[in-house]
Amino acid sequence: MCELYHLDGAESYDRVTATSFGVFCGNALYLGLMAKKGSVLVCDDEEIMREVLGTILSGAGYKVDLAKTGEEAIEVYSQKSFDVVLMDVSMPGIGGLTALEELIKIDPEAMVLMVTAYATFDTAISAWEKGAAGVIRKPFQNEQILAFVARGIKNRKKEEERRTLRQAMAKSVKRDGFIGRSEIMEDVFRLVERVAPARSTVLITGESGTGKELVAKAIHEASPRTDNPFVVVNCSNIPSELLESELFGHTKGAFTGAVASKKGLFEVADTGSIFLDEIGDLRPELQVRLLRVIQEREFTPLGDTTPAKVDVRIIAATNVDLKEAVRSGQFREDLYYRLSVVPIELPALRSRRQDILPLTQHFIKKYNEENAREISENVSPEVLSLLENYNYPGNVRELENIIERAVVIAQTDDITVDCLRPEVRDPSLAFDMMKSTEGSSSELDIARGVNFYDEVKKFEIDLIRRALEQTGGHQSRAARLLGLNATTLNSKIKTHNIPTRT
């Protein structure tokens, strides 16, 4: 009869006999086969014991390395780690317990099982105090060894998963694009840090220009997926008839013009994250397909019949009220709840005015570097007062545009009041500009009867032309003036055939 001491933690140990352990041992081979195979280092000074243990473990599918002494085991383990170590207690040289201590120094999470012909209560306690996972007494049954190795590997894998999670959670969210000291933004930072390590979907809401894509990227970069793809999709920028193919891909001949097979963006983002911006613009049939991807983690390319598995974290964003869209029947309720597992709401800039100064200083520094200027980051009280009292319908993106303009046109080394846009110097002008844009003729047109869509189109074309004129045809700057993504503006320019300067 063999005695076995199993140490389950720092506060308890169980002394069992081979008889009482019989039920567990009877299932040991099953457990060994079911456990994910791993690597084992066997250290014993008796050649026959090394060969027996090596044969048992190799036969069960484990990768086995052998060592004759504690010194050799330490040297081997320092070169590469093992899932489990089987270490004889009594050996020439430094001995098993001393070797155990050295292995724990190399790897605090090493899974070491001590094997001895003289197991006593004191031996078990001593081994436990030095970091052993358990003690097995010789002679042993093959099933016992396999059971303990399987359990050791399982525990090792759990520790590795916990360590990965702890490392991910310990990562600081990169705040390069997040400038602010307000409590409301600190709450956002803390929430991003908590959700980053998880796989759950995230729904980021907020007005245009509040930085939703920056938050999505920060979540990805602070997650275990950081080294894998981060794919950005603007659902409003891609024509609806093409979006399905862009997201899910297609086979050759799936539709007219499909001259070759193409990977979808979900496949491109496999093992990484996909950011679906303006998710509220997704048409109903695509909402159904997206719901399936979330639920089943699979999709079927257009023209194909075989579903493809995908491991993608979905981060979505919108500047519309999805709850209202659900109530009006424009957005699926089940998809909404699948997307908003972790909702993050970004505040408008007017709700965190204490962040305007640090943001302003950040943008001065940025555009000094881009334009070879040396404008002082010390903003005068007069300028700061105007900046803090403006309402920023375009949020942070609009503030950035205001500061970029000021840095470029400043005639001294300071931003002065005349460097600010007229509506910032006099907020009432913003309202007057809105009224003048609408124009008194609009009332006459409405009185005569108008085509709503034609008037909206004219208004959009006029806004884009004016923005391009103000920026000298610079599309990226014009996009910032209008609170649009550069790609969205470019698409609208092509759609409306608006001439640009070259």
Domain containing 230 — which CATH number? 3.40.50.300
Domain termination site, one of 137, 167, 197: 167
Q: CA 201 to CA 227: how far, in whole Å?
A: 19
Report the relative pairing of strands 3-7 and 134-137 from DSSP bridges.
antiparallel
Question: What percent of the chain is predicted at pLDDT more than 70?
Answer: 83
| pLDDT, position 356 | 93
The helix or strand, by DSSP H or E, that contains position 136, with its residue range, turns out to be: strand 134-137
| pLDDT, position 162 | 63
Q: Is 275 exposed, middle or buried (0-12, 13-18, 19+ CB in 10 A)?
A: buried
- Indicate if 38 and 152 belong to the same structural domain: yes
Helix (H, G, I), strand (E, B) or coil at 90: coil
Cα distances (angstroms) measured from residue 263 to each of 250, 296, 354, 399: 7, 19, 45, 38
Q: Is residue 353 part of a domain?
A: no
Report the relative pairing of strands 298-299 and 308-309 from DSSP bridges.
antiparallel
pLDDT digits (tens, 9 = 90+) for 254-279: 777 777 888 889 999 999 999 999 99
Q: Is 159 exposed, middle or buried (0-12, 13-18, 19+ CB in 10 A)?
A: middle
Q: Is the pLDDT of residue 16 over 50?
A: no
| pLDDT, position 429 | 60
Question: Under a CB-based contact definition with an 8 Å cutoff, are residues 281 and 325 in contact?
Answer: no
- Indicate if 388 and 468 belong to the same structural domain: no
Q: Is residue 473 part of a domain?
A: yes
Residues in the chain: 502
CA 108 to chain centre: 28
- Indicate if 126 and 159 belong to the same structural domain: yes
Helix (H, G, I), strand (E, B) or coil at 483: coil
Average pLDDT score over residue span 370-383: 93
Q: Is residue 55 part of a domain?
A: yes
Q: Got the DSSP string for 356-373?
A: HHHHHHHHHHHHHHHHT-
- Indicate if 370 and 387 belong to the same structural domain: yes
Residue 218 or residue 36, greater confidence: 218
- Residue 162 makes CB contacts below 8 A (sequence gap 6+) with none
Instruction: Note down the domain range covering 461.
Output: 439-502
Q: Is the pLDDT of residue 33 over 70?
A: no
Q: Is residue 175 part of a domain?
A: no
| pLDDT, position 376 | 94
- Indicate if 334 and 187 belong to the same structural domain: yes
Report the relative pairing of strands 308-309 and 313-318 from DSSP bridges.
unpaired
Q: Is the pLDDT of residue 313 over 70?
A: yes
Per-residue tokens: 316: 């979505």
- Indicate if 13 and 72 belong to the same structural domain: yes
- Indicate if 392 and 290 belong to the same structural domain: no
Q: Is residue 271 part of a domain?
A: yes
pTM of the model: 0.56
Report the relative pairing of strands 342-345 and 84-88 from DSSP bridges.
unpaired
Of 39-53, 87-101, 111-125, 403-417, the one with minimum mean pLDDT is: 111-125
Nearest to 277 by CA among 332, 225, 315: 315
Report the relative pairing of strands 84-88 and 112-116 from DSSP bridges.
parallel
Domain termination site, one of 395, 413, 430: 430
- Indicate if 317 and 221 belong to the same structural domain: yes
CA 161 to chain centre: 17
Q: Is the pLDDT of residue 477 over 70?
A: yes
Q: CA 491 to CA 489: how far, in whole Å?
A: 5
Of 215-219, 312-316, 462-466, the one with minimum mean pLDDT is: 462-466
Q: Is 318 exposed, middle or buried (0-12, 13-18, 19+ CB in 10 A)?
A: buried
CATH number of 163's domain: 3.40.50.2300
- Indicate if 13 and 158 belong to the same structural domain: yes
Q: Is the pLDDT of residue 77 over 70?
A: yes
Helix (H, G, I), strand (E, B) or coil at 112: strand
Number of continuous H segments (helices) and E segments (strands) in the chain: 23, 14
Q: Is 85 exposed, middle or buried (0-12, 13-18, 19+ CB in 10 A)?
A: buried
Q: Got the DSSP string for 182-249?
A: -HHHHHHHHHHHHHTTS---EEEE--TTS-HHHHHHHHHHTSTTTTS-EEEEETTTS-HHHHHHHHH-
Instruction: Provide the CB-side half-sphere exposure for 361 (13 A, CA).
Output: 10
- Indicate if 364 and 421 belong to the same structural domain: yes
- Indicate if 11 and 113 belong to the same structural domain: yes
Domain termination site, one of 167, 199, 224: 167
- Indicate if 158 and 9 belong to the same structural domain: yes
Q: Is residue 136 part of a domain?
A: yes
Q: Is residue 141 part of a domain?
A: yes
Q: Is residue 257 part of a domain?
A: yes
| pLDDT, position 69 | 92
Please count the structural domains in the chain: 4
CATH number of 373's domain: 1.10.8.60
* Main-chain phi, psi angles of 487, to 5 degrees: -65, -35
